[in-house]
Amino acid sequence: MTCNGCNELLEVINSPGGLRNVPDRYAFVDSLTEVEGCIGNGLAVCAAAEDWSRFEQYVFVATQHPDRRYVPILCSVLHRQLFDVSSDDIVTALGEIADPRSVPFLVEAMWWDLDWDEYQQLAKKCVWALARIGTPDALEALRDAASVGSDILREEAQYELNRRS
């Protein structure tokens, strides 16, 4: 994993402030090519070291460069419900990847009752990711949410189900 894009990404992530100090980080990340392998490696290394600040930077990049290789590590970290890691960002990345292996983890996260999430933004993102995946299991989870979830969750899930009709 010594491609120029990987070297450039690693240099930025390892610099003080990391991606937060890049003036247009979206343009920077979009300009990178052939970085999926080093993103997957970065996610795994940072998770193993519990270096959540760098891990979150790799999650941001993973959202712009989705790849199925990231799914196991993203699901593993999501499942842990870590306070130091943005579950929202992980769910967004999983939605971009749209891999059926993430369905059980997205369903689990969709039902979390989080004190800080009064508008259920995480649950909504899970609904969007499940709708994008669209497998029978994902659609069944949406039907469940549309029938027994909170008002917010029922409305969002029903909206996504109606879009599929």
Identify residue 51 by its one-letter amino acid code.
D
pLDDT of residue 4: 83
Give how far the C-alpha of residue 67 lies from the chain's centroid of Cα atoms, to the nearest Å. Answer: 11
pLDDT tens per residue across span 54-109:
999 999 999 999 999 999 999 999 999 999 999 999 999 999 999 999 999 999 99
151: its two tokens: 């008002």
**Burial call 42-73: b when 16+ CB within 10 Å, e when fewer:** bbbebbeeeebebbbbbbbbbbbbbbebbbeb
Domain 98-165 has CATH 3.90.320: no
pLDDT value at position 131?
98
Residue appearing with tokens 């991606």: 19
Distance of CA 38 to the CA centre of its chain: 17
DSSP state of 81: T
| pTM, two decimal places | 0.95
Would you say residue 126 has pLDDT above 60?
yes
Domain ranges of the chain: 1-81, 98-165
Site of tokens 């009064």? 118
Among the listed residues 148, 153, 94, the one whose alpha carbon sits nearest the alpha carbon of residue 121: 153
pLDDT at 116: 87
Residue 33 near residue 8 (C-beta atoms within 8 A): no
Averaged pLDDT of the chain: 95
Instruction: Find the helix or strand (DSSP H, E) in which 104 lies.
Output: helix 103-110
DSSP per position, 24-52: THHHHHHH--S-HHHHHHHHHHHHHHT-H
Q: Residue 2: is its pLDDT beyond 60?
A: no
